[in-house]
Amino acid sequence: MTSAADSSAFKPVAIDPPVSVALVAAMLILTCGHVLSNMLRTTPAVAIDVMSTDLGVTPQTLAALTSAYHFFFALLQIPVGVALDRYSIRTVSLVLFAGTVCGAAIAALSTGPLSFFVSQATIGMATSGMLMCPMTLAAKRLTPAQFGLWSGIILSFGNAGLLLSASPLAYVVEHWGWRAGFWIAAAAAIVVAMLIAVMVPASRPEGQPRALLGEMVSVLQLGVSRAVRGIVILAFVSLAVQLVLRGLWAGPWLMNIKGLSRIEAGNVLALFTVALVIGPALSGLLDRKLGHRRMLLFAVHLCAAALLLVMALGAPGYPLATLFGLPVMPVAVDTGLLVVIGLLVAMQPLVYAMIRQVVAAENIGKALSAANLSFFLGTAVMQSATSPIAAAWGLPAVLISMAVFLTVCTLVFFVLTRPAAQRGAA
Protein backbone atom coordinates (compact mmCIF):
# COMPACT_ATOMS: atom_id res chain seq x y z
CA MET A 1 0.00 0.00 0.00
CA THR A 2 1.30 3.44 -0.86
CA SER A 3 1.88 5.63 2.19
CA ALA A 4 0.53 9.14 2.54
CA ALA A 5 4.08 10.50 2.29
CA ASP A 6 4.65 8.57 -0.94
CA SER A 7 1.34 9.60 -2.46
CA SER A 8 2.09 13.27 -1.84
CA ALA A 9 4.99 12.97 -4.22
CA PHE A 10 2.57 12.23 -7.03
CA LYS A 11 0.29 15.22 -6.47
CA PRO A 12 -0.09 17.18 -9.71
CA VAL A 13 1.86 20.42 -9.90
CA ALA A 14 -0.29 23.50 -10.50
CA ILE A 15 0.42 24.99 -13.89
CA ASP A 16 -0.59 28.52 -14.74
CA PRO A 17 -3.06 28.67 -17.60
CA PRO A 18 -1.71 30.21 -20.80
CA VAL A 19 -2.28 33.91 -21.31
CA SER A 20 -4.62 34.40 -24.26
CA VAL A 21 -3.62 36.46 -27.27
CA ALA A 22 -6.68 38.67 -26.75
CA LEU A 23 -5.64 39.45 -23.15
CA VAL A 24 -2.06 40.19 -24.19
CA ALA A 25 -3.34 42.53 -26.91
CA ALA A 26 -5.66 44.31 -24.47
CA MET A 27 -2.88 44.80 -21.88
CA LEU A 28 -0.43 46.14 -24.45
CA ILE A 29 -2.98 48.47 -26.03
CA LEU A 30 -3.83 49.89 -22.60
CA THR A 31 -0.10 50.25 -21.88
CA CYS A 32 0.13 52.54 -24.91
CA GLY A 33 -1.52 55.10 -22.63
CA HIS A 34 1.47 54.84 -20.28
CA VAL A 35 3.73 55.26 -23.33
CA LEU A 36 1.96 58.52 -24.19
CA SER A 37 2.05 59.62 -20.56
CA ASN A 38 5.82 59.20 -20.44
CA MET A 39 6.24 61.02 -23.74
CA LEU A 40 4.12 63.99 -22.65
CA ARG A 41 5.69 64.40 -19.23
CA THR A 42 9.23 64.44 -20.65
CA THR A 43 8.69 66.68 -23.68
CA PRO A 44 10.24 69.80 -22.03
CA ALA A 45 13.59 67.98 -21.68
CA VAL A 46 14.46 68.64 -25.34
CA ALA A 47 12.31 71.74 -25.96
CA ILE A 48 12.40 73.86 -22.80
CA ASP A 49 14.48 76.61 -24.42
CA VAL A 50 12.20 77.21 -27.41
CA MET A 51 9.06 76.61 -25.36
CA SER A 52 10.04 79.21 -22.74
CA THR A 53 10.84 81.78 -25.42
CA ASP A 54 7.57 81.13 -27.25
CA LEU A 55 5.48 81.31 -24.07
CA GLY A 56 7.26 84.39 -22.74
CA VAL A 57 8.69 82.88 -19.55
CA THR A 58 12.10 81.86 -18.27
CA PRO A 59 13.18 78.20 -18.46
CA GLN A 60 12.99 78.06 -14.66
CA THR A 61 9.40 79.36 -14.68
CA LEU A 62 8.45 76.85 -17.36
CA ALA A 63 9.99 74.08 -15.26
CA ALA A 64 7.83 75.17 -12.33
CA LEU A 65 4.74 75.21 -14.57
CA THR A 66 5.38 71.65 -15.75
CA SER A 67 5.30 70.48 -12.13
CA ALA A 68 1.52 70.98 -12.33
CA TYR A 69 1.46 67.80 -14.40
CA HIS A 70 2.82 65.75 -11.51
CA PHE A 71 0.73 67.42 -8.80
CA PHE A 72 -2.51 66.72 -10.64
CA PHE A 73 -1.28 63.28 -11.66
CA ALA A 74 -0.75 62.44 -7.98
CA LEU A 75 -4.03 64.05 -6.94
CA LEU A 76 -6.05 61.78 -9.24
CA GLN A 77 -4.35 58.50 -8.28
CA ILE A 78 -6.87 57.53 -5.62
CA PRO A 79 -10.05 58.62 -7.47
CA VAL A 80 -8.93 56.68 -10.53
CA GLY A 81 -8.40 53.59 -8.38
CA VAL A 82 -11.92 53.92 -7.01
CA ALA A 83 -13.31 54.45 -10.53
CA LEU A 84 -11.69 51.19 -11.62
CA ASP A 85 -13.59 49.49 -8.77
CA ARG A 86 -16.87 51.05 -9.89
CA TYR A 87 -16.72 50.96 -13.69
CA SER A 88 -15.15 48.89 -16.45
CA ILE A 89 -11.49 49.36 -17.31
CA ARG A 90 -12.51 50.22 -20.88
CA THR A 91 -14.82 53.01 -19.72
CA VAL A 92 -12.22 54.53 -17.40
CA SER A 93 -9.46 54.34 -20.01
CA LEU A 94 -11.62 55.95 -22.73
CA VAL A 95 -12.43 58.87 -20.42
CA LEU A 96 -8.72 59.27 -19.65
CA PHE A 97 -7.80 59.24 -23.35
CA ALA A 98 -10.43 61.88 -24.10
CA GLY A 99 -8.84 64.08 -21.44
CA THR A 100 -5.38 63.42 -22.88
CA VAL A 101 -6.49 64.60 -26.32
CA CYS A 102 -7.93 67.79 -24.81
CA GLY A 103 -4.82 68.47 -22.70
CA ALA A 104 -2.41 67.92 -25.60
CA ALA A 105 -4.49 70.23 -27.80
CA ILE A 106 -4.50 72.95 -25.12
CA ALA A 107 -0.71 72.63 -24.84
CA ALA A 108 -0.28 72.92 -28.60
CA LEU A 109 -2.47 76.05 -28.64
CA SER A 110 -0.92 77.66 -25.52
CA THR A 111 -0.01 81.33 -25.83
CA GLY A 112 1.30 82.02 -22.34
CA PRO A 113 2.00 80.60 -18.87
CA LEU A 114 -1.67 80.37 -17.79
CA SER A 115 -2.84 78.32 -20.77
CA PHE A 116 0.23 76.10 -20.54
CA PHE A 117 -0.45 75.54 -16.83
CA VAL A 118 -4.02 74.50 -17.69
CA SER A 119 -2.69 72.08 -20.30
CA GLN A 120 -0.28 70.49 -17.83
CA ALA A 121 -2.98 70.12 -15.18
CA THR A 122 -5.34 68.57 -17.73
CA ILE A 123 -2.73 66.16 -19.09
CA GLY A 124 -1.69 65.22 -15.55
CA MET A 125 -5.26 64.33 -14.57
CA ALA A 126 -5.95 62.53 -17.84
CA THR A 127 -2.83 60.36 -17.74
CA SER A 128 -3.04 59.61 -14.01
CA GLY A 129 -4.60 56.19 -14.63
CA MET A 130 -2.69 55.15 -17.74
CA LEU A 131 -0.50 52.76 -15.75
CA MET A 132 -3.24 51.63 -13.37
CA CYS A 133 -5.53 50.48 -16.22
CA PRO A 134 -3.25 47.76 -17.66
CA MET A 135 -2.02 46.85 -14.17
CA THR A 136 -5.61 46.40 -12.96
CA LEU A 137 -6.50 44.28 -15.98
CA ALA A 138 -3.42 42.13 -15.39
CA ALA A 139 -4.17 41.78 -11.67
CA LYS A 140 -7.75 40.71 -12.37
CA ARG A 141 -7.03 38.23 -15.17
CA LEU A 142 -3.61 36.72 -14.30
CA THR A 143 -2.27 34.46 -11.57
CA PRO A 144 0.19 35.98 -9.06
CA ALA A 145 3.16 34.42 -10.89
CA GLN A 146 1.95 35.70 -14.24
CA PHE A 147 1.28 39.14 -12.77
CA GLY A 148 4.87 39.38 -11.54
CA LEU A 149 6.11 38.81 -15.09
CA TRP A 150 3.60 41.04 -16.84
CA SER A 151 3.91 43.95 -14.41
CA GLY A 152 7.58 44.18 -15.39
CA ILE A 153 6.68 43.96 -19.08
CA ILE A 154 4.05 46.69 -18.70
CA LEU A 155 6.51 49.01 -16.95
CA SER A 156 9.27 48.38 -19.47
CA PHE A 157 6.96 48.82 -22.44
CA GLY A 158 5.50 51.97 -20.91
CA ASN A 159 8.96 53.43 -20.35
CA ALA A 160 9.55 53.05 -24.08
CA GLY A 161 7.48 56.23 -24.37
CA LEU A 162 10.53 58.04 -23.07
CA LEU A 163 12.30 57.03 -26.29
CA LEU A 164 9.75 59.03 -28.27
CA SER A 165 10.71 62.22 -26.43
CA ALA A 166 14.43 61.74 -27.10
CA SER A 167 15.83 61.83 -30.65
CA PRO A 168 12.44 61.57 -32.46
CA LEU A 169 10.99 64.53 -30.55
CA ALA A 170 14.22 66.50 -30.97
CA TYR A 171 13.86 66.00 -34.73
CA VAL A 172 10.21 67.12 -34.64
CA VAL A 173 11.08 70.23 -32.59
CA GLU A 174 13.93 71.15 -34.95
CA HIS A 175 11.82 70.81 -38.11
CA TRP A 176 8.22 71.61 -37.10
CA GLY A 177 8.40 73.20 -33.65
CA TRP A 178 7.50 72.03 -30.16
CA ARG A 179 3.74 72.40 -30.72
CA ALA A 180 3.87 69.64 -33.34
CA GLY A 181 4.95 67.21 -30.62
CA PHE A 182 1.72 67.81 -28.71
CA TRP A 183 -0.41 67.53 -31.86
CA ILE A 184 1.23 64.19 -32.63
CA ALA A 185 0.47 63.00 -29.09
CA ALA A 186 -3.18 64.05 -29.47
CA ALA A 187 -3.50 62.15 -32.76
CA ALA A 188 -1.86 59.05 -31.24
CA ALA A 189 -4.28 59.19 -28.28
CA ILE A 190 -7.25 59.16 -30.66
CA VAL A 191 -5.89 56.10 -32.50
CA VAL A 192 -5.22 54.18 -29.27
CA ALA A 193 -8.66 55.06 -27.89
CA MET A 194 -10.24 53.56 -31.02
CA LEU A 195 -8.25 50.36 -30.49
CA ILE A 196 -9.29 50.22 -26.82
CA ALA A 197 -12.95 50.53 -27.78
CA VAL A 198 -12.55 47.44 -29.96
CA MET A 199 -10.03 45.28 -28.08
CA VAL A 200 -10.54 45.84 -24.34
CA PRO A 201 -13.42 43.98 -22.62
CA ALA A 202 -16.20 46.07 -21.12
CA SER A 203 -16.97 43.93 -18.06
CA ARG A 204 -17.82 45.88 -14.90
CA PRO A 205 -16.37 44.95 -11.49
CA GLU A 206 -18.60 42.83 -9.29
CA GLY A 207 -19.70 43.75 -5.79
CA GLN A 208 -20.85 46.96 -4.13
CA PRO A 209 -18.97 50.14 -5.02
CA ARG A 210 -16.98 51.71 -2.22
CA ALA A 211 -17.24 55.31 -1.02
CA LEU A 212 -14.62 57.63 -2.50
CA LEU A 213 -13.93 59.56 0.70
CA GLY A 214 -13.58 56.40 2.77
CA GLU A 215 -11.15 54.91 0.27
CA MET A 216 -9.04 58.07 0.20
CA VAL A 217 -8.78 58.13 3.97
CA SER A 218 -7.87 54.44 4.17
CA VAL A 219 -5.17 54.80 1.51
CA LEU A 220 -3.57 57.71 3.35
CA GLN A 221 -3.73 55.85 6.66
CA LEU A 222 -2.06 52.83 5.13
CA GLY A 223 0.61 55.00 3.51
CA VAL A 224 1.77 56.27 6.91
CA SER A 225 1.41 52.90 8.66
CA ARG A 226 4.48 51.28 10.18
CA ALA A 227 4.61 48.55 7.55
CA VAL A 228 4.54 50.84 4.53
CA ARG A 229 5.86 54.28 5.44
CA GLY A 230 9.54 53.47 4.90
CA ILE A 231 8.83 52.12 1.42
CA VAL A 232 6.60 55.10 0.63
CA ILE A 233 9.41 57.48 1.63
CA LEU A 234 11.77 55.77 -0.83
CA ALA A 235 9.03 55.89 -3.49
CA PHE A 236 8.84 59.66 -2.91
CA VAL A 237 12.28 60.14 -4.48
CA SER A 238 12.82 56.99 -6.55
CA LEU A 239 10.64 57.83 -9.53
CA ALA A 240 11.16 61.56 -8.98
CA VAL A 241 14.87 61.34 -9.77
CA GLN A 242 14.13 59.35 -12.92
CA LEU A 243 11.39 61.63 -14.26
CA VAL A 244 12.83 64.99 -13.22
CA LEU A 245 16.25 64.15 -14.63
CA ARG A 246 14.93 62.62 -17.85
CA GLY A 247 11.95 64.91 -18.24
CA LEU A 248 13.49 68.27 -17.38
CA TRP A 249 17.15 68.78 -16.50
CA ALA A 250 19.15 66.21 -18.49
CA GLY A 251 18.45 67.98 -21.79
CA PRO A 252 19.51 71.47 -20.59
CA TRP A 253 22.53 69.92 -18.87
CA LEU A 254 23.71 68.33 -22.11
CA MET A 255 22.97 71.39 -24.24
CA ASN A 256 23.94 74.26 -21.92
CA ILE A 257 26.73 72.71 -19.85
CA LYS A 258 28.14 70.21 -22.36
CA GLY A 259 27.50 72.24 -25.50
CA LEU A 260 25.60 69.60 -27.46
CA SER A 261 23.08 70.40 -30.17
CA ARG A 262 19.44 69.45 -29.64
CA ILE A 263 19.77 66.37 -31.85
CA GLU A 264 22.99 65.28 -30.14
CA ALA A 265 21.38 65.74 -26.72
CA GLY A 266 18.39 63.75 -27.94
CA ASN A 267 20.69 60.89 -28.93
CA VAL A 268 22.24 60.81 -25.45
CA LEU A 269 18.78 60.94 -23.87
CA ALA A 270 17.79 58.01 -26.08
CA LEU A 271 20.58 55.91 -24.51
CA PHE A 272 19.48 57.05 -21.06
CA THR A 273 15.94 56.04 -21.95
CA VAL A 274 16.99 52.58 -23.14
CA ALA A 275 18.41 52.07 -19.65
CA LEU A 276 15.08 53.16 -18.15
CA VAL A 277 13.30 50.62 -20.37
CA ILE A 278 15.68 47.79 -19.42
CA GLY A 279 15.75 48.68 -15.70
CA PRO A 280 12.34 47.28 -14.65
CA ALA A 281 12.97 43.94 -16.35
CA LEU A 282 16.49 43.83 -14.90
CA SER A 283 15.12 44.42 -11.41
CA GLY A 284 12.99 41.29 -11.73
CA LEU A 285 15.99 39.22 -12.77
CA LEU A 286 18.11 40.53 -9.89
CA ASP A 287 15.27 39.95 -7.44
CA ARG A 288 14.98 36.29 -8.45
CA LYS A 289 18.75 35.81 -8.57
CA LEU A 290 19.82 37.66 -5.43
CA GLY A 291 16.72 38.14 -3.29
CA HIS A 292 17.14 40.66 -0.45
CA ARG A 293 14.88 43.32 -1.98
CA ARG A 294 15.46 45.77 0.84
CA MET A 295 19.25 45.67 0.54
CA LEU A 296 19.06 45.79 -3.25
CA LEU A 297 16.88 48.91 -3.20
CA PHE A 298 19.14 50.49 -0.59
CA ALA A 299 22.30 49.80 -2.60
CA VAL A 300 21.07 50.88 -6.04
CA HIS A 301 19.61 54.16 -4.79
CA LEU A 302 22.74 55.10 -2.87
CA CYS A 303 24.85 54.30 -5.94
CA ALA A 304 22.58 56.45 -8.10
CA ALA A 305 22.98 59.34 -5.66
CA ALA A 306 26.76 58.99 -5.79
CA LEU A 307 26.77 59.01 -9.60
CA LEU A 308 24.59 62.12 -9.71
CA LEU A 309 27.14 63.83 -7.50
CA VAL A 310 29.99 62.71 -9.78
CA MET A 311 28.18 64.11 -12.82
CA ALA A 312 27.60 67.46 -11.09
CA LEU A 313 31.24 67.76 -10.04
CA GLY A 314 32.34 67.41 -13.69
CA ALA A 315 30.86 70.78 -14.64
CA PRO A 316 33.18 73.66 -15.64
CA GLY A 317 35.09 74.93 -12.62
CA TYR A 318 33.92 72.11 -10.37
CA PRO A 319 36.37 69.79 -8.51
CA LEU A 320 36.26 66.74 -10.78
CA ALA A 321 36.96 68.67 -13.97
CA THR A 322 39.70 70.62 -12.18
CA LEU A 323 41.25 67.40 -10.84
CA PHE A 324 41.70 66.07 -14.37
CA GLY A 325 42.90 69.43 -15.68
CA LEU A 326 39.94 69.76 -18.04
CA PRO A 327 37.59 72.70 -18.64
CA VAL A 328 34.70 70.24 -18.43
CA MET A 329 34.43 66.45 -18.23
CA PRO A 330 33.87 64.77 -21.63
CA VAL A 331 30.32 64.09 -22.78
CA ALA A 332 31.15 60.37 -22.95
CA VAL A 333 31.47 60.37 -19.16
CA ASP A 334 28.04 61.93 -18.74
CA THR A 335 26.56 59.47 -21.21
CA GLY A 336 27.94 56.53 -19.26
CA LEU A 337 26.78 58.00 -15.97
CA LEU A 338 23.26 58.63 -17.29
CA VAL A 339 22.98 55.06 -18.59
CA VAL A 340 24.05 53.55 -15.26
CA ILE A 341 21.84 55.94 -13.28
CA GLY A 342 18.94 54.95 -15.53
CA LEU A 343 19.48 51.27 -14.80
CA LEU A 344 19.68 51.94 -11.06
CA VAL A 345 16.66 54.22 -10.59
CA ALA A 346 14.26 52.25 -12.84
CA MET A 347 13.71 49.50 -10.31
CA GLN A 348 10.26 50.53 -9.10
CA PRO A 349 8.91 46.94 -9.50
CA LEU A 350 10.95 46.10 -6.38
CA VAL A 351 9.05 48.79 -4.48
CA TYR A 352 5.74 47.20 -5.50
CA ALA A 353 7.13 43.77 -4.58
CA MET A 354 8.20 44.95 -1.11
CA ILE A 355 4.75 46.39 -0.48
CA ARG A 356 3.07 43.13 -1.47
CA GLN A 357 5.48 41.38 0.89
CA VAL A 358 4.69 43.41 4.02
CA VAL A 359 0.97 44.17 3.63
CA ALA A 360 -1.96 41.84 4.21
CA ALA A 361 -3.72 40.58 1.08
CA GLU A 362 -6.88 42.62 1.68
CA ASN A 363 -4.82 45.85 1.83
CA ILE A 364 -2.58 45.34 -1.20
CA GLY A 365 -4.64 47.52 -3.56
CA LYS A 366 -4.71 50.43 -1.13
CA ALA A 367 -1.00 50.08 -0.40
CA LEU A 368 -0.13 50.16 -4.11
CA SER A 369 -2.27 53.28 -4.48
CA ALA A 370 -0.32 54.85 -1.61
CA ALA A 371 2.94 54.02 -3.41
CA ASN A 372 1.68 55.51 -6.69
CA LEU A 373 0.58 58.64 -4.85
CA SER A 374 4.05 58.96 -3.30
CA PHE A 375 5.81 58.29 -6.62
CA PHE A 376 4.15 61.17 -8.41
CA LEU A 377 3.73 63.59 -5.53
CA GLY A 378 7.47 63.24 -4.94
CA THR A 379 8.10 63.98 -8.60
CA ALA A 380 6.02 67.16 -8.39
CA VAL A 381 7.78 68.29 -5.21
CA MET A 382 11.26 67.59 -6.56
CA GLN A 383 10.51 69.35 -9.84
CA SER A 384 9.16 72.39 -7.98
CA ALA A 385 12.12 72.41 -5.57
CA THR A 386 14.81 72.14 -8.24
CA SER A 387 13.46 75.01 -10.35
CA PRO A 388 14.46 77.80 -7.89
CA ILE A 389 17.73 75.96 -7.22
CA ALA A 390 18.52 76.10 -10.95
CA ALA A 391 17.64 79.79 -11.10
CA ALA A 392 19.79 80.67 -8.07
CA TRP A 393 22.82 78.38 -8.37
CA GLY A 394 22.74 76.66 -11.76
CA LEU A 395 22.35 73.13 -13.07
CA PRO A 396 25.24 71.53 -11.13
CA ALA A 397 23.47 72.54 -7.92
CA VAL A 398 20.30 70.85 -9.21
CA LEU A 399 22.11 67.52 -9.59
CA ILE A 400 23.74 67.91 -6.17
CA SER A 401 20.39 68.64 -4.53
CA MET A 402 18.83 65.60 -6.22
CA ALA A 403 21.70 63.45 -4.90
CA VAL A 404 21.12 64.81 -1.39
CA PHE A 405 17.35 64.18 -1.53
CA LEU A 406 17.94 60.64 -2.78
CA THR A 407 20.54 59.87 -0.12
CA VAL A 408 18.45 61.15 2.79
CA CYS A 409 15.28 59.30 1.78
CA THR A 410 17.21 56.10 1.07
CA LEU A 411 18.76 56.17 4.54
CA VAL A 412 15.34 56.81 6.12
CA PHE A 413 13.92 53.90 4.12
CA PHE A 414 16.70 51.62 5.38
CA VAL A 415 16.06 52.55 9.01
CA LEU A 416 12.25 52.31 8.86
CA THR A 417 12.23 48.96 7.04
CA ARG A 418 14.40 47.14 9.57
CA PRO A 419 12.69 43.91 10.67
CA ALA A 420 12.41 45.26 14.22
CA ALA A 421 10.77 48.46 12.95
CA GLN A 422 8.15 46.50 10.99
CA ARG A 423 7.34 43.88 13.59
CA GLY A 424 3.68 44.05 14.48
CA ALA A 425 2.86 46.31 11.49
CA ALA A 426 -0.26 45.91 9.41
Same fold, 19-202 and 210-419: yes
Residue 168 CA, chain-centre distance (Å), reads 20
Amino acid 94: pLDDT: 94
Question: Does residue 232 sit in helix, strand or coil?
Answer: helix
Residues 6+ apart with CB under 8 A from 95: none
DSSP secondary structure letters along 113-140: HHHHHHHHHHHHHHTTTTTHHHHHHHHH
Quickly list H helices, 200-315: 212-223, 229-244, 250-252, 262-290, 293-312
For the chain, what are the domain ranges?
19-202, 210-419
77 vs 54, more confident: 54
Assign domain 210-419 to a CATH class: mainly alpha
Question: Would you state the torsion angle of the CA atoms of residues 227, 229, 235, 237, taken in this order, to the nearest 10 degrees?
Answer: -150
> Which among 243, 342, 337, 231 is positioned nearest to 283, based on CA atoms?
342
Amino acid 29: pLDDT: 93
**Amino acid identity, position 44:** P
pLDDT digits (tens, 9 = 90+) for 177-211: 889 989 999 999 999 999 999 998 877 666 555 56
Share of the chain above pLDDT 90, in %: 31
CATH classification code of 19-202:
1.20.1250.20
3-state helix, strand, coil in the chain (%, to 5): 80, 0, 20
pLDDT digits (tens, 9 = 90+) for 292-349: 888 999 999 999 999 999 999 999 989 998 888 888 899 999 999 999 999 998 888 7
Q: How far is Cα 141 from Cα 354, in angstroms, rounded to an integer?
A: 22
Residue 392 pLDDT > 50, yes or no?
A: yes
Average pLDDT of the residues of the chain = 83
Q: How far is Cα 118 from Cα 105, in angstroms, rounded to an integer?
A: 11
> Which among 100, 38, 73, 42 is positioned nearest to 277, based on CA atoms?
38
